[in-house]
Chains A and B, each alone.
Chain A
Amino acid sequence: MGLDIRWPIGIMFSLIGVIMVVYGLATGGDVEMYKRSLGINVNLYWGMILLGFGVWMLLLASRAAKAAAGK
């Protein structure tokens, strides 16, 4: 079927990653909020991982699309 699933996966995780990173930066000073995650700003760090994963998926999808266009 003509849809490369890596596009929606990449877009979704990039969006979620951006939201979590921005929220993590905005709430970074809230010590009370991050007490439950053992003092780690999980939104910032995990958001960056999700964003990285999303961008990687988008790169894979665009590379596959370029390869398919050449064939």
Chain B
Amino acid sequence: MYNVQLGFVDYAVLAIYVIAVVAIGFALQRYMKSSSDFLTSGRSIPAWVTGLAFISANLGALELVGMAASGAKYGIATSHFYWVGAIPAMIFLAVFMMPFYYGSKARSVPEYLKMRFDERVRALNSIAFAVMTVFASGISMNALAKLLNQLLGWNYHVALWVCSAVVLVYVLKGGLTSAIYTEVLQFFMIVLGFAPVVYLGLKDVGGWGKMNASLQTVAQNPMALNLGDKPYPADAWTSAWGPLMGGTSTNPMGVDLFAMVFGLGFVLSFGYWCTNFLVVQRAMAAKNMTAARRTPLIAAVPKMIFPILVIVPGMIAVALTSMPDKGYRIPPPIVSEQVYDNAATVVKASASLDATAGVEAVAKAIGKKMDSAKVATLLKAAPKMTDTEIKQGLYNAIAEYDYDGVILSLVKKYCPTGLLGLALTALLASFMSGMAGNVTAFNTVWTYDLYQAYIAPNKSDQHYFWMGRAITVVGILLSIACAYFAAMYNNAMDIIQLVFGFVNAPLFATFLLGMFWARTTGTGAFLGLFGGIGGSAIFHALTTTTSNLDASGHVANGMKGGYLGLVQKFPSEMAQNFWLASFAFIICLTLTTVISLATKRTKTDEELRGLVYSLTPKIQDEETAWYLRPATLGIALLVCCVILNIIFR
């Protein structure tokens, strides 16, 4: 409701961070002598750096803001996105897939697809990926500029252009190396910037035990806080597996066990961590095969403990909301100051009306669902209150939540000047690392997989070096354009993201067959991918969620599926997405297998050496101590992951 006022110290912290990331770009400029230096880091970076960059590139806005929101909505079950939906896939990438990505000398994931299959598969993947990264970057930057506007009162356009300009400067100067190095710096900034907020929040609610006790009370009657429309078992917010085992009605996610384990834990997570060039690019920049394989394993360690940093704040927010003496609520949806002014006038004018009419008038003025009891109390007390007090009362009486505002509301609550600057810098760092990750992946795919492959082949390396830098500028400008597009056409953006979901869902099936079955053909892979994408679209058109049905059982919003008919209703959008991914994966896997068996192989065993598991000599790790080998480290990480799942079961 009110902007945060930054002090001189806050701006000083922010300025030091900006100077540091820009200085890294300038310091690396003299090492950029070829397209390989600029776009692939010349494969020269140590494992601990690529490992932290690997995780930092994924630690964008979605992670910090979105996971805190999910922590508030679903509690500790959000950790499934880490301990089921990330760690196993990262270990699989390190042990089984990096030898092919790195050993094949491919400069990008689409280039690997070209080497393994043919140009058609590469073109489909690279075009989809290039468009997707620009949109993802734009969506993220739009969210950042909006946040800075709402939180600090900064002008939207200035925030968008200044943040983009900082990313442009350091990526343009130092290429992928600069992005990777700054991602390491951003990783530490994010951890050290948000850790005190989590500590203070936990201390405020009385520690872990007290927080869990509050959440158990909330779970049994979430209606009291407008957090849900039905009671759940007491452990719904505090147990990761218990409510899930009870079925879709006993967990706030509305997801069943199969969808969680197969849909999220296998199809979606392996599809993201093992095939998304944005993260794989970091491992491909490592200085040798050992470093490349260790990259995802090093990244898995912080990934495993990140729920403390990103999910617990959401749980703290719910616990605080349930404690009236703490004076905190999960923030309501953003309402402009002008609307609050008008509503305050309505409150004063309605004080003489009867309670029901007064509540209705106030709800109409605010335009949100209101807590009737709180509004009635406010109406009674209004004659003795100041305008500011009335507006604060209205803020507290809105019976809707903007979960994305959770992390920032905690920053506002606990951070005095100084620490506030650090936390906001951490937030900026997360957005910048996400944008730089997208831009560096985009410029590599454009230069090598689209420009060099189809537009201007056989040019000099210096020409591609120039193109890499030019497309970096274009990529940033396209991201800014997409940010404006996202701000203006919210619904169009939803459709675009939906289509990206269709494209991504079947992708892992193509990689799995390509890497582990030599008989897979280019035609099989290409048509299988299209079949998977089509299968996704059809599945979406024939299914929807129960909340998307009106009183007469008809689909209310076609964007949420069911616009061609209704074959299946899911309890939640998350369940629908997990099942959609599972369906698309199975369609793609089946089609690719059948078509491959029906078509002739175009690649010989010799051509597939280094690209397919059965035809590639196994890497001998004899010179490495047994406990440092990727397989050993992977098993150790998997055991830790299982232990965490047992502790929070």
Contact = CB atoms under 8 A, between A and B. Distances in A.
A5 B12 CA distance: 22
A42 B196 CA distance: 8
Contact of A38 (B13, B184, B200, B419): B200
B513 to A, nearest CB: 37
A15 B203 contact: no
A49 B177 CA distance: 28
Given A33-B416, A42-B200, A3 B24 contact: yes
Interface string A40-54: 101100110110010
A15 B416 CA distance: 19
Interface string A1-35: 11101001101110110011001100100000110
B269 to A, nearest CB: 29
Interface size class for chain A?
Answer: 20 to 34
Interface of B: 9, 12-13, 16-17, 20, 23-24, 27-28, 31, 37, 41-42, 44-45, 49, 177, 181, 184-185, 188, 192, 196, 200, 203-204, 413-419, 422
Contacts of B27: 3, 8
29 contacts: A1-B31, A1-B42, A2-B31, A3-B24, A5-B24, A5-B49, A5-B181, A5-B185, A8-B185, A9-B185, A12-B185, A13-B192, A19-B13, A20-B419, A20-B422, A23-B9, A23-B417, A27-B418, A36-B416, A37-B415, A38-B414, A40-B200, A42-B415, A42-B419, A43-B9, A43-B418, A50-B192, A50-B422, A53-B188
A43 B418 CA distance: 6
Interface SS of B by simple majority: helix
Contacts of A24: 418
A58 B188 CA distance: 14
A34 B188 CA distance: 25
B320 to A, nearest CB: 13
Contacts of A42: 196, 200, 415-416, 418-419
Contacts of B177: 1
* Residue of B181, B416, B418 with highest tally of chain A CB at under 10 A: B418
Given A15-B16, A36-B415, A46 B203 contact: no
A1 to B, nearest CB: 5
Nearest to A44: B418
Given A1-B31, A36-B414, A42-B416, 18 more contacts: A3-B28, A5-B24, A5-B49, A8-B23, A8-B27, A8-B185, A9-B185, A19-B13, A19-B418, A20-B419, A27-B417, A33-B417, A37-B416, A38-B200, A40-B200, A43-B416, A43-B417, A53-B192
B326 to A, nearest CB: 11
Contact of A8 (B24, B44, B417): B24
Contacts of A3: 24, 27-28, 31, 181
A11 B648 CA distance: 39
B136 to A, nearest CB: 25
Contacts of A49: 192
A71 to B, nearest CB: 15
Contact of B204 (A12, A16, A38, A53): A38
A38 to B, nearest CB: 6
Contacts of A36: 413-416
A-B pairs with lowest CB-CB distance, top 6: A43-B418, A12-B20, A5-B181, A1-B31, A42-B419, A23-B9
Contacts of B203: 38
Contacts of B417: 23, 27, 33, 43
A2 to B, nearest CB: 6
B200 A46 contact: no
